Amino acid sequence: MSRLAALVLLSLATVPAAAQTRHDTGAPIDFGADHIELQDRANRAVLSGNVKVRQGEMTLTAQRMTVAYTGQVIDGNPQVSRLDARGGVTVTRPDQTARSQFGVYDLNRRVITMLGSVRLTQGGNTINGGRLTINLDTGRAVIDGSSVAGGGTGNGGAVTPAPNGRVTGTFSVPKRN
């Protein structure tokens, strides 16, 4: 990894102590959409049209989302295991915003993976790439220039990789006296 790439990752991972709060993956998941289709036999729900999901201080928006649940019900609630989003996917957290074509939130692993024309912003810093992985336990974000092998997402959609398979970005420079 080049020195610049290491600096990029370090600058994104280094946020003020107040912002490094652990995401509460056990918080309730609130959602809204123009349309919802429950597919109980398949243990999933399909949300479409202006989908907005909120968990704690994190918001995920997209045009379409499939919510997979285990079939196990605790206290009257199905146990959600995964969210698959596509179409203008945006994940907003107090200290950063990520945008892409596709996103997967694996609740069991507490990891969000975003694919296709990824753009991560934090303060005045911007990083562009093909794939972003956010570990919600540690707050660590890793971005690279690759896309999915074979150029697809496994759900029939094409992914636009990063230009030339590279990570690019812009860093803000603090004023110095």
pLDDT in tens, 119-154: 999 888 999 999 999 999 988 889 998 765 444 444
Instruction: Give me the residue label for tokens 């918001």.
Output: 59
**Do the Cβ atoms of 146 and 164 come closer than 8 Å?**
no
> What is the average per-residue pLDDT within 37-50?
93
Instruction: Give me the residue label for tokens 């999933």.
Output: 44
The more confident residue out of 61 and 74 is 61
**Model pTM score:** 0.76
Measured at the CA of 29, the angle between CA 15 and CA 134, to 5 degrees, comes to 35
Residue 74: what pLDDT? Answer: 78
The set of residues, in sequence order, having a beta carbon less than 8 Å from that of 153 and lying 6+ positions away, is 86, 102, 115, 116, 159
Q: pLDDT class for 7, splitting at 50, 70, 90?
A: very low
Give the residue from 2, 20, 3, 7 showing the smallest Cα distance to 170.
7
Coil, strand or helix: which one is 104?
strand
Q: How far apart are the first and last CA of the chain?
A: 32
pLDDT at 110 over 90: yes
pLDDT at 99 over 90: yes
Cα torsion 58, 128, 89, 80 to 10°: value is: -50
**Do the Cβ atoms of 84 and 68 come closer than 8 Å?**
yes
CA distance 28 to 127: 30
Residue 3: what pLDDT? Answer: 40
> What is the average per-residue pLDDT within 7-27?
51
pLDDT at 114 over 70: yes
